[in-house]
Chains A and B, each alone.
Chain A
Amino acid sequence: MTLVESPAATGPAAPPAVGPAPGRGGGALRLLGRRLLPVGASIVAVLVLWTAFLQVFGIRRVIGKTPLDVWGWLVTAPQAVANRGVVFGNLGITLRDAGIGYVAGLVAALAVAMVFVLSRSVEQALMPVATLLRSVPLVAMTPIIVLAFGRTLGAVAVIGAIVVFFPALVTLVYGLRSASVQAQELVAVYGGTRWTRLRLVMLPSAAPAFFAAARLGVPGALVGSLMAEWLATGEGIGAALLKAMGGFRYLEMWSSVAVVTAVSILAYALVGVVESVVLARMGLD
C-alpha cells in the first residue's frame, strides 16, 4: 500500500526537477506532525486489536496477557526494573541485529538495482535468482545459512538482508526507471555516459522510491532479525520469545512482543520523518 504512494508521485507525468513544492518553506515541522499522528493511531489500533483478539478467542488469562498486564509487568510491578532489564537488554541485541540486516539489505538492493538499470542483460540473467531467494521460505533456508556462516553476525546479516532485499530491489529498479526521459536525453546530448545519466538523473529521481523501500524494510528487517535470533544465534528478542514460551513466562513473552511492535511502528515513522524532510528539501514532496 505504501509502495503505491511514493514512486507513483514521480511518474513521467511529474518530472522531479521541476516540482512545484508549494509547502517547502517552514513545512518541516508540519510534515513531522503529519508523520507522527499515524503513529498514535497505529498504537491505538494495535491495543484495540490485541484486546479484541484475547476476548474473541477466549484465551485464558494465564496465557493471553492484556495490555494492562504488560504495563504492570514492565512499569508498576515490584520487579518492573528487573523485567525491563530483561526485555530491553534483549531489545538492544535485536535492534543491532535488525540494523545490520537492514543496512546490508538496502545497500545490496541499491547496488543491484543500479547494475540492473545499467544493463538489461544482467537484469534478465539475475532477476530469476533474486525471485528464487524470495520464494524459498526463510525458515527452510536458515539452517543452510547457519551451516555456511555459523551462528555469527554474518548469518544475522544475511538472513536480515534477504528479507529486506527483494522488495527494496523491485521498488528501487522501478524508481530508477521512472526518471524523466527528457532529462536523461539531455545528459546524453551533452556527451554524458550511462553512469553520468544514472548519477545525475536517475538516482535523484529515485529518492522517493528509496525511502519507500527504506520504510518497508523496517518491519522486514525486524522479522529477519527475530528469525535469525530464534534459529541461529539464540540471543535477543527472537530467542527470548520462544524460551519464554517454553518456560511458561507469558508476561515476558507478551511484553517482548509489545515492545518490539512499538519499536517497529516508531522506526517506521522515523524513516517517514527523514523521508519527508529530505524529499521536501529536494523539492520532491
Chain B
Amino acid sequence: MPPTAGPLLGRRSFLRWSGMAAGALGGGALLAACGGGSDSGAAPAAPGSNQYGRVALQLSWIKNTEFNGEYMADSKGYYREAGFEGVDLLAGGSASTGVETNLVSGKCWAGLSAPVITAPAILQGAPLKIVGATYQKNPFCIVSAATKPIATPQDMVGKKIGVQDSNDQVWNGLLKANSIDPASINRVPVQFDPSVLTTGEVDGYLGYITNEPNTLKVKGFATQSFLFADHGLPLVAETVTVLQETIDNEREKLKAFLRAEIRGWKDAVADPGAATRLAVGNYGKDQNLDYAEQLLEATDQNGLVVSDETRTNGLFTISDRPVEENLQALRLAGSAVSKEQLFDLSLISEVYAADPSLKS
C-alpha cells in the first residue's frame, strides 16, 4: 500500500497554522524548504536563478572523500548554476537515522544509499526509487588484521565482527547470500573508528575497501579484506535515492540536481587531489582527516566510480546488465524486488540525452 502524501501535507499545514516552524521544529522548517513546489514541465533553470531553493542531501557516511564529487559540485557552484540556492550536505553513518527514513520523514530531499538498504525499505512500503549510482561496484568489505585474517564469509563464524547499526541490511544481506547463521557470529556494535581492530576489540569490521584498509595502512597496521561484491553481492552503491513523488512532481529539478552531481564527480575523478583537499580542509574539517590517507582513498575510489560502462554511457548510469545483476543479488540477500520497484533510470538518460557532452 503506497502511503499517501496526506500526512506530509498535514504536517506542513500544521506548521503554517501554529507558526512554530522556526522554533521547536527545525526539521520541519527544513522539510518545508525541501518540499518545494511542483515544477513538472517547467523550463530548465536560468543559471543562478535560485528557482529550486535549498535542498538537503543525506550522505551515507561522515564527510570524507567518499563525497568528493558533492564537495566539487558545491564549491564550484554547480548546484547554484543548476538553479539551487544551495545543497545542504548532511553527514550520516553509524547510528544516525538512515537515508531511507530521512527521505520518508522529509528530513532530506535526496540521499546517497545502497540498494541492499533501499530494497528492504521499499518492500516495507517506503515509496522510494534509485535514480543513479555513484559507485558502479560496491566497496563493502570485512576488514581484519593481517595477523588474524578473515578471508571469506565462512571465516567469520565464531569471530567477533563490528557492524554499524546503519549497515544492518548490508550485513544481513551478506549472511543470507552466503547461508551463514547469524547466531554463529558474535556481531557487536561499532561506530566510525576502525581502530577497534588494532586494539583487538573486534576481529572484523564492516567497512569500505577504499576507506578503513587505507586508514589502518597509514597507521602502519596491515589488514586483510574480502569484498561483499566477490561473495554474492555485486551491487552498485552510493545510489542517488529519492521519493517517488519527487520524480513525479519535481522531475526537472531532480534532473538539474543530477546534472550538477555529474559535473561535480567528473571534476573529482579528474583531480582527486583537489577534491581531497576540499574534504580534508573544508567539508570534513572536524573529522581530522589525514590528507595522504584520504588521497589514497580518493584514487582507489575512481576505480569504483568509473567503469567501461560509464566511459560509454556516462557517470551515475546503470545499464541493463548490472541492473539485472543487482536484482539477482538482492534476491539472494532476501529482498526480491522488481526493476520497476527499485530503479527509475529514465532521468539520468534524459540528462545525458539533453547534453551528451557531459559524457566526456
Residues of A within 8 A of B (CB): 56-63, 146-147, 150-151, 230-234, 239, 242-250
Contact code string B214-253 (vs A, CB < 8 Å = 1, else 0): 0000000000000000000000000000000000000000
B11 at the A interface (CB under 8 A): yes
- Provide the residues of chain A in CB contact with B172, threshold 8 Å: 247
- Provide the residues of chain A in CB contact with B8, threshold 8 Å: 58, 60
Q: B169 is contacted by which of A57, A58, A59, A248 (Cβ under 8 Å)?
A: A248
- Whether B14 lies near A63 (C-beta < 8 A) is no
Q: A61 is contacted by which of B3, B121, B168, B201 (Cβ under 8 Å)?
A: B3
- Whether A247 lies near B169 (C-beta < 8 A) is yes
Closest to A143 in B: B191
Q: B167 is contacted by which of A56, A147, A246 (Cβ under 8 Å)?
A: A246
Instruction: State which residues 68-120 of B face A: CB under 8 Å.
Output: 95, 97-98, 100-101, 104-105, 117, 120
B144 at the A interface (CB under 8 A): no
Give bound CA distance, A252 to B9, whole Å: 26
Nearest CB in chain A: distance from B68 CB, A: 25
Give bound CA distance, A62 to B121, whole Å: 9
User: Which of B14, B100, B165 counts the most chain A CB atoms within 10 A?
Assistant: B165
B7 at the A interface (CB under 8 A): yes
| A-B CB proximity, top 6 nearest | A58-B11, A246-B168, A242-B165, A248-B121, A58-B10, A247-B168
- Provide the residues of chain A in CB contact with B14, threshold 8 Å: 56-58
Closest to B165 in A: A242
- Provide the residues of chain B in CB contact with A61, threshold 8 Å: 3, 7, 125
User: Which of A233, A243, A250 counts the most chain B CB atoms within 10 A?
Assistant: A243
Give bound CA distance, A242 to B101, whole Å: 12
Q: B98 is contacted by which of A59, A231, A246 (Cβ under 8 Å)?
A: A246
B124 at the A interface (CB under 8 A): yes
- Provide the residues of chain B in CB contact with A56, threshold 8 Å: 14
- Whether B7 lies near A245 (C-beta < 8 A) is no
Give bound CA distance, A57 to B18, whole Å: 12
Give bound CA distance, A63 to B128, whole Å: 13
- Whether A59 lies near B100 (C-beta < 8 A) is no
- Provide the residues of chain B in CB contact with A62, threshold 8 Å: 3, 104, 124-127
- Provide the residues of chain B in CB contact with A248, threshold 8 Å: 98, 100-101, 117, 120-121, 124, 126, 169
- Provide the residues of chain B in CB contact with A59, threshold 8 Å: 7, 105
List 12 extra interface pairs beyond A62-B3, A62-B126, A234-B188, CB under 8 A.
Answer: A60-B8, A63-B105, A146-B201, A150-B201, A233-B188, A234-B189, A243-B165, A244-B168, A246-B164, A246-B165, A246-B166, A247-B120
Closest to A251 in B: B124
**Given known contacts A58-B10, A60-B105, is B124 in contact with A151 (CB within 8 Å)?**
no
Give bound CA distance, A105 to B260, whole Å: 56
- Whether B165 lies near A63 (C-beta < 8 A) is no
Contact code string B1-31 (vs A, CB < 8 Å = 1, else 0): 0010001111110100000000000000000
Closest to A247 in B: B168
- Provide the residues of chain B in CB contact with A147, threshold 8 Å: 199, 201
- Provide the residues of chain A in CB contact with B12, threshold 8 Å: 58
- Whether A249 lies near B124 (C-beta < 8 A) is yes
- Whether A243 lies near B3 (C-beta < 8 A) is no
Give bound CA distance, A110 to B124, whole Å: 49
- Provide the residues of chain B in CB contact with A234, threshold 8 Å: 187-189
- Provide the residues of chain B in CB contact with A247, threshold 8 Å: 117, 120, 168-169, 172
- Whether B101 lies near A245 (C-beta < 8 A) is yes
- Provide the residues of chain A in CB contact with B121, threshold 8 Å: 248
- Provide the residues of chain B in CB contact with A249, threshold 8 Å: 120, 124
- Provide the residues of chain B in CB contact with A231, threshold 8 Å: 189
Closest to B125 in A: A62
Nearest CB in chain B: distance from A110 CB, A: 32
Give bound CA distance, A147 to B201, whole Å: 8
